[in-house]
């Protein structure tokens, strides 16, 4: 079975802190994604990576950056956390190409910024 | 992307078949229908996808009408663990990059009662 793990299920940070969210997948997937999920807004794509060291902006990249140094690991960085970044963060992975919509999600990290 | 319309909620008895409808009347010829579900406090889970033929896997069956304007996800023997929000998504299959993102609508909340 595909396994996507995220470093924390719950995280509480203060405004202005630098926050790292880690995601690891064990299926040798080329693609990795970071989404955030908010009530009434659904899932929104923050960043996407299709290979090591490659990244593309999603719909809402402002205030975030990412790092993909190894194929299995994709990190989301909040440079200076703000209260409007309080959300559920979901990592996903998939193979590249026609099967890219068969995405496998991690359990999510619920981040609260106070 | 074709828009999808799903009822807000439905319920069914444990052990019975759950038939979840989805309308996608503006679907184009090369767009696929994907189904995902999200159990409370978990990340979304891929279920099944199809183009025009009916599909079946270990989780569910997907029935797509001949005109492809609607589809039905069938859980043949619903269990309490199938209680979740089910999302019907219509997308081209072979897009690359950040266009591989998934756009989840509000979905349909399925409640399986004992």
* pLDDT per residue as tens digits for the range A10-54: 999 999 999 999 999 999 999 999 999 998 888 889 999 989 999
Interchain proximity A105–B49, CB inside 8 Å: no
* pLDDT per residue as tens digits for the range A58-94: 989 999 999 999 999 999 999 999 999 999 999 999 9
Which residues on chain A are in Cβ contact (under 8 Å) with B104? 42-43
In Å, how far is B72's CA from the nearest CA of chain A? 19
Is the pLDDT at B103 greater than 90, yes or no?
Answer: no
For chain B, say whether A50 makes contact (Cβ under 8 Å). yes
Q: Do residues B83 and B112 make contact, with C-beta atoms less than 8 angstroms apart?
A: yes
Which residues on chain B are in Cβ contact (under 8 Å) with A64? none
Is the pLDDT at A7 greater than 80, yes or no?
Answer: yes
If phi over 0 gives left and psi between -120 and 50 gives alpha, with beta otherwise, what is residue A108? Answer: left
Is the pLDDT at B97 greater than 60, yes or no?
Answer: no
In Å, how far is B90's CA from the nearest CA of chain A? 10
- Return the C-alpha torsion angle B12, B21, B41, A15, nearest 10: -150
Share of chain B above pLDDT 90, in %: 74
Binning pLDDT at 50, 70 and 90, where does residue B3 land?
confident
Neighbours of B68 (CB within 10 A): 19
* Residue A72 CB partners (closer than 8 Å, separation 6+): A24, A25, A26, A28
Binning pLDDT at 50, 70 and 90, where does residue B108 land?
very high
Query: What pLDDT is stored for residue B101 in this prediction?
Result: 72
């Amino acid at each position: 079975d595909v396994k996507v793990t995220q470093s924390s299920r719950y995280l509480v940070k203060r405004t202005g802190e630098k926050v790292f969210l880690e995601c690891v997948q064990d299926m040798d997937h080329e693609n990795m994604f970071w989404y955030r999920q908010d009530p009434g807004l659904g899932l929104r794509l923050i960043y996407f990576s299709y290979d090591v060291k490659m990244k593309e902006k999603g719909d809402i990249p402002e205030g975030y950056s990412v790092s993909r140094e190894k194929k299995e690991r994709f990190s989301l960085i909040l440079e200076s956390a703000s209260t409007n970044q309080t959300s559920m963060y979901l990592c996903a992975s998939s193979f590249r190409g026609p099967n890219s919509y068969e995405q496998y999600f991690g359990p999510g990290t619920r981040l609260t910024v106070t | 992307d074709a828009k999808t319309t799903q009822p807000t909620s439905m319920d069914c008895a444990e052990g019975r078949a759950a038939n979840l409808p989805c309308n996608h009347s503006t679907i184009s010829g090369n767009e696929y229908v994907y189904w995902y579900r999200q159990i409370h406090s978990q990340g979304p889970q891929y279920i099944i996808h199809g183009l025009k033929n009916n599909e079946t896997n270990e989780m569910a069956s997907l029935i797509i009408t001949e005109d492809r304007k609607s589809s039905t996800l069938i859980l043949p023997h619903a269990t309490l663990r199938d209680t979740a929000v089910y999302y019907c998504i219509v997308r081209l299959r072979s897009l690359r990059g950040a266009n591989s993102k998934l756009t989840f609508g509000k979905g349909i909340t399925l409640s399986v009662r004992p």
